[in-house]
Structure 1
Amino acid sequence: MLLLNRDEIKWVFTMKDAIEADKLAYSIFSKRKSISPLRTNIESQNEQGNILFMPGYIDEIGVAGLKIVSVFPNNPQKGLPSTPGTVLLVDDKTGMVNCILDGTYVTELRTGAATGAAVSLLAKKGSKTGSLIGTGGQAESQFDAIIAGCETIKEIRVFSRNKEKRDAFVKKMTEKYSDKIKIISSFSSDEAIDDADIIVLATTSNTAVINGDKVKKGALISGIGSYMPNMHEIDEKTLLKSDKIFFDSKEAVLSEAGCIMTPLSKGIISEKNFTGDIGQVINGEIKGRESDDEIIVFKSVGISTQDIVTGKAIYEKALEKSVGFKW
C-alpha cells in the first residue's frame, strides 16, 4: 500500500493534470461506465459539521474507491482544515487497498479542476477577466484552475465578506502569479463580477453571493461551493438570464444543491432550463458554447468518479516517479 501526502501529490501532479483527469471522469460518468452512488451525508451531533462518504467504482480503469470528506467550519479555529478528507483506492482484481491519499488536497485539486474543465470547454474564447467569490479552503485551487483553463486571462478580481482574509488571499496569489496576471481585491461582489468573462463561486453561503443584473453577456458562471439544500450561492436572476445550464451530475445537483433545487421547487425555473451534464459535451452528445453572447452556468457538487479517476492518475504518477511511503 502506498501513502501519499499533500506535498508528494503536489510534486507529481499539476492542475492541468487534474483538469484532464476530471474531463476523463466526466466522460466516463456520462457514458454510465462508473458506479457513483449519491454521497452519504451524516451531520455531526457534537459539532457544527457534516461527514460525507463517497464510494465509487470504475471497471474501465480497474479501481474502486472511497472518499471520506468532512465540512467543519470551526476547524480553522483549532488549527485544522475546514474540509479534511481521505481517499482510499481499491484494486478491483484483489480487493486490496493499494493507495491512501491526502483527500483534503485531492478534493481541492479535483474541485478546482471542475472549474478548469468548465472554463476550457465553456468559457468564451479569448476571455480576459475572471472573478472569484470566496477565499476559503477551495479558493486557491479555483484560482489556479482559472489560469490553467484559460491561457488568455489577464486579470482576476477576488471578493469575500471578510476583508482581512480577502486581502491575505490576494497577497498570497500575487506572490504566486505576480508575473502573469493582475490580481485585485474587490470591495463588493458587484465590483468583482462587473464585466467579468469568468465568474467562479466557491462559498457555502445560504444566500446568493452575486447579482444576476451584473452578469454580462458571454459570461461563464461556475458554482462549486453550495452542496446542500440550504445553500444558495447562485442567484435566481443569473439562472433566468442564462442560455445554458450544465451540471457535473444532474441527479446529484437536484438532490443536493439548494441554489438549483429551491428555484426549481418554486417554479421559477424548470427542467427545460437544463442543458445537460458536462460529460455529454465532452462525449459530443450535446453542444457546449455556441456563441460569444451565451451566458452559461456550470453547477457542480462533486461526484466520486472525479476522486477515483484523479486518485488513480496520481497513484500512477507516484509509482512512475517512486514517490510516497510504502506501508
Structure 2
Amino acid sequence: MQYLDKEQIAANFSMEEAIAACKEALELYSAGRADIPLRTNIDVPENNGQALFMPGYVSGSTPALGIKIVSVFPDNIKANLPSVPATMLTMDAKTGIVNAVLDGTFLTQLRTGAVQGAATDLLARKDAKIGLLIGTGGQGFQQLRAMLTVRNFEKMYIFDIDQARAQAFAKEVATSLAAFGVEFEAVADVNAVVAECDVITTVTTAKVPTFDGSLVKPGCHINGVGAYTLEMHELPETALAKAAKIFTDTDDGVLAEAGDVVGALEKGTITKEDLSGELGQLVSHPELGRQSAKDITVFKTVGTSALDVVVADKVVRKIQG
C-alpha cells in the first residue's frame, strides 16, 4: 500500500487528466453505474469533533472503489494541526484490498476544480476571454487553474471579501500561472466588473449572493462551486432566473444541499423544469447544452464521492502503473 502526498499527485496527474476523469465519473453516475451511499457522520463530542465517511463505487471500464474520510476538529488549531484533515483510501475493485492512501485535502481541491473545468468546457462560449473568480480560499487556486485550462482567457478578475487576500492571491498566480499568459487583476468592487465577464466562478460559503445577477451579460457562463448547505446562497436568484440552462453535478445532491438553488425553487424564482439535467447527461449528449451565443448558462455543484473515487483511482493507476 502506497501513500501519495500532494506533491506526488500534482507532479503526476494534470488538470487536463482530472477534468477528463470528472467527465467520466459524472457520465457514469448519470447512467446509473455508481453506488454512492449517504455520508455517515460520527460525532466526537468530548473533543468537539466530527468524522465524515464518504464511500463510493463507480463501475466503469476500470471500476473505482474507495472512501474519503474528512474530520472536522476545530480545536486542532490550538495544537498547530489541520482543523479539517482529509484522507482518501482507494481499493482494488477485484480484491477489496486497499492499494493506496492519498492526501484527501489536495484530492478534493483538484477534483472540485476539475469538475468546474468540465462544466466550463461543456457550457462556456468557445471565445470566452474575460473571467471572474470570486473567493480565494483553499479551493481558489485549482478553480482558477481549471478555468484557464479549458479556455484561452485574456484577463481574469479576482475578488474576495478580504481585499488583501485577493491582492496577494492575484500576485501569487501571476507568477505560478504565468504560462497561461493571462492578466490577473484583484478588484475591490465585484459588481464593477461582472458585466464584462464571459465566465464567473464563485467558490465561497457566503450566505448572501456574491454578485448582482442583473448585471450578468448575455452569453455568460456561471459556476456555483462553494455553497454546499441550505444556509449558503452564493449564486444570486436573478442570475438563475436569467439562465437558459442550469446543470448540476447531481440533481439529488443539489436539491438536498444547495441553498441558492433550493431557495430559488422555494420562492418560485425558478421551477424544477428550469433544471436542465446533470452534467453527466451533457457529457453523453452535448446537444443538450448551450443553444446560442446569448444563452446564460449555470453549473451548480455540491460534490459527490463518485468524483473522489474515480479521480483517485486514475491517479493511483497512473502512478503505480
The interval holding the TM-score normalised by the smaller chain is over 0.9
1:324 is matched with which residue? Answer: none
Equivalent residue for 2:140?
A: 139
Q: Is the 8 A contact 2:116 2:143 kept in 1?
A: yes
Unpaired runs of 5+ residues, structure 1, are: 321-327
Which residue matches 1:113? 114
Give the count of matched residue pairs.
319
Paired position in structure 1 for 2:153: 153
Match of 2:317 in 1: 316
Measure, in 1, the Cα distance between the counterparts of 2:185 and 2:75. 28
TM-score computed with the length of structure 2 as normaliser: 0.93
The letter for the 2-side match of 1:216 is K
The CA deviation at 1:270 is 1.1
Pairwise CA distance, 1:96 = 1.1
TM-superposed CA distance for 1:41, in Å, is 4.9
Question: Structure 1's 192 and 141: CA in aligned 2 closer, same or farther, altered over 3 A?
Answer: farther
Q: Deviations over 1:261-288 (max 9, x none)?
A: 1221222221011000011011117611
Q: Classify the secondary structure of the residue corresponding to 1:57.
A: strand
Distance 1:242-1:9 versus aligned 2 partners, 3 A rule: same
Q: Which amino acid aligns with 1:110?
A: R
Give the 3-state SS of the residue equivalent to 1:94 in structure 2: coil
For the structure 1 residues 296 and 206, does the alpha-carbon distance in structure 2 shift closer, same or farther, using more than 3 Å as the test?
same
Corresponding position of 2:166:
166
1:230 lines up with 2:231 in the alignment = yes
Distance 2:170 2:69 in 1: 30
Superposed CA RMSD: 2.1
Equivalence map 1:242-321=2 (5 Å): 242-284=243-285, 287-320=288-321
- Percent of aligned pairs with the same residue? 39
| C-alpha displacement of 1:57 | 0.7
What is aligned with 1:86?
Answer: 87
User: 2:239 and 2:44 mapped to 1: Cα distance?
Assistant: 33
Provide structure 2 residue ranges, at least 5 long, that are not aligned to the other structure.
none
Alpha-carbon spacing, 1:192–1:140, altered in 2? closer, same or farther (3 Å): farther
CA-to-aligned-CA distance 1:107-139 (integer Å, 9 cap, x gap):
000000011101111001110000000010000
1:146 is displaced (CA, Å) by: 0.6
Tell whether the 8 Å contact from 1:53 to 1:66 is kept in structure 2 after alignment: yes
TM (norm. structure 1) is 0.91
Write the letter of the residue equivalent to 2:8.
Answer: E
- In 2 relative to 1, CA 194–74 (structure 1 residues): closer, same or farther, beyond 3 Å? farther
Gap change, CA 1:91 and 1:171, over 3 Å in 2: same
Checking the alignment, whether the CA contact within 8 Å between 1:132 and 1:192 is kept in structure 2 is: no
Structure 1, residues 77-130: CA drift from partner, whole Å, max 9, x if none? 875556531111122222211111001010000000011101111001110000
CA contact (8 A) 2:108 2:308 kept: yes
Structure 1 range deviating more: 63-72 or 31-40: 63-72
